[in-house]
Amino acid sequence: MGGKSYIRLTAVIIMCFFILFNLSGCGKNSTITTETDLQEVPVEIVKAARGTIYDTVKTSGRITPHVEINVVPKIGGKVEKVNFDIGDIVKEGDVLLTLESRDIASSVKQAEAAVTMAEANYRSLSEGTLDKQLEQAEANFLNAKENYERMQVLYDEGAVSKQQFDAAKLQYTVAKTQYESAKIAAPGNLEAAGAQLKQAQAGLELARSQLENTVIKSPVSGMVASKSVNVGEMAAPGYPVFTIVNIDKVYADLDISEVNIGSVEKGQKVSVTVSAADKTEFSGIITNVSPSADPRSRTFPVRVEIDNAEHILKGGMFAQVLIQTEKKEDAVLVPEESVVDMGTEKVVFVVNDDTAYKKSVVVGINDGINVEIIKGIKEGEQVVKAGQHLLRDKTKVSVVNRGDKE
């Protein structure tokens, strides 16, 4: 029983203490609230001023090089030498790699020999060989004709036998046939020789072209972005062995919605930031605006060109682009942070005689720095820039900094 009595007594004491504490606390809270109401809230203020503000379209896109070329060999072969690696700077015409060329070089020598033979044959025919053959056939024909005509007279007079006359006639017929064949064949032989020469020359040109194709050069100046072959490996025609890029300038490829495309035009300047480049701000210019939407995304492709002389931006980086669209001049502007969104209304606190007054406002363009005030604030009024979230209407304030002070 003694233990239970002790527990009951302890409980009663605790309850009494709790009641007294609450009673005393209520009085203190009342005093604290009163002191808070009388205490001035420190704020920073700035004057509402007139100025120019732009409405903006915020979008994103991927950075691509100004020039990006895949170098593809025209012929296949074993790689004999590679002169550059990823990241190296190359100039137009630099030899990137060479293929083994021993067999092709032999083909060139064979083709050169074929051209030499064809030239000799054509030159021989064109310089008189055919003319001499034709002259000989003509002479034989004329002699045979003269003999035949003489034998005809003698045969008619009975001075020669029919056998002698037939022999002369046969000789004339053969000579005539040979002469007529020579007249027909002479131009044809020369033409055939000319065709053979052209064919040999074409074969030589092809062999030399194949030999040149074993030396693969850079088509542009830039930087090696990728390399897919090494010495001793086989290079295949049609498959890239190098990719060369030029990033002195880069593009940001964007997709603009149909709602905003009407405000975007070629030549328009834009602001570009890339988080991978320490969010440095770059200036760009719109160079291409597609006249039709992508059928899948229903957005309009737009390209922005950006100067990148220091090569800070790289292909594949993700860019945030800010495009200025609508322009408002002589608008009343306040800092974006001065506008407090209270759900049902937007308000700005205006300071007058060390008191903050809540004013409901109608806002317009917001460029991320300033907000256009269409209604509710006049030029020159002192608006709260910092400390506004601690204020209620007619709260006493202490100005600790004037943001518009020169």
pLDDT of residue 273: 92
CATH architecture of 58-67+245-327: Beta Barrel (2.40)
Q: For the chain, what percent of residues have pLDDT higher than 70?
A: 83
117-162, pLDDT tens digit by residue?
A: 888 777 766 665 556 666 777 788 788 888 888 888 887 888 878 7
- Which tokens belong to 376? 């509710």
Question: Residue 77 and residue 100: Cα distance in Å, rounded?
Answer: 7
Length of the chain: 406
- Which candidate, 308, 326, 329, 306, places its Cα nearest to that of 265? 326
- Expressed in angstroms, the distance from the first to the final Cα of the chain is 82
Please report which helix (H) or strand (E) contains residue 255, including its range: strand 242-256
Residue 222 β-bridge partners: 90
Q: Does domain 73-99+215-235 have CATH number 1.10.760.10?
A: no
Q: Which has more pLDDT, 399 or 98?
A: 98
Task: For domain 102-212, give the CATH superfamily.
Answer: Helix hairpin bin (1.10.287.470)
- 3-state SS class at 396: strand
For the chain, the domains span 41-54+328-402, 58-67+245-327, 73-99+215-235, 102-212
Question: Residue 292 and residue 14: Cα distance in Å, rounded?
Answer: 80
CATH for the stretch 41-54+328-402: 2.40.420.20
- Which candidate, 244, 217, 242, 218, places its Cα nearest to that of 228? 242
2-12, pLDDT tens digit by residue?
A: 444 434 434 43
pLDDT of residue 196: 82
Non-local (6+) Cβ contacts of 261 within 8 A are: 289, 300, 302
Average pLDDT, the chain: 83
22-71, pLDDT tens digit by residue?
A: 444 444 444 444 444 457 889 999 999 999 998 888 899 999 999 999 99
- 3-state SS class at 329: strand
Identical fold for domains 41-54+328-402 and 73-99+215-235, yes or no, is no
Whole-model pTM: value is 0.59
Q: Which has more pLDDT, 187 or 54?
A: 54
Residue 334 β-bridge partners: 371
56-112, pLDDT tens digit by residue?
A: 888 999 999 999 999 999 999 999 999 999 999 999 999 999 999 888 888 889 888
Are 313 and 63 contacting, i.e. CB atoms less than 8 angstroms apart? yes
191-222, pLDDT tens digit by residue?
A: 777 788 888 889 889 889 999 999 999 999 99
pLDDT of residue 9: 37
Q: Which has more pLDDT, 361 or 11?
A: 361
- Which candidate, 390, 339, 343, 332, places its Cα nearest to that of 361? 339
Question: Residue 23 and residue 44: Cα distance in Å, rounded?
Answer: 39
Rounded to the nearest 10 degrees, how much is the dihedral formed by the CA atoms of 154, 160, 166, 170? -60
Alpha helix ranges (H) inside 39-75: none
Name the amino acid, one letter, at 300. F
Question: Residue 5 and residue 149: Cα distance in Å, rounded?
Answer: 174
A 10 A CB-CB count for 340 gives 16
Cα–Cα distance list, 141 to 167, 169, 362 (Å): 15, 12, 117
If you ran DSSP here, which 8-state letter would residue 40 be given? P
Q: Which residue has the tokens 């002589």?
A: 330
Cα–Cα distance list, 16 to 5, 6, 11, 20 (Å): 17, 16, 9, 6
Question: Residue 155 and residue 365: Cα distance in Å, rounded?
Answer: 126
Name the amino acid, one letter, at 80. E
Query: What average pLDDT does this structure show over 244-254?
Result: 95
pLDDT of residue 291: 94
Question: Beta-strand (E) ranges in 48-149?
Answer: 49-71, 77-82, 89-90, 95-99
pLDDT of residue 138: 76
279-306, pLDDT tens digit by residue?
A: 788 999 999 999 999 999 999 999 999 9
- Which tokens belong to 100? 């083994």
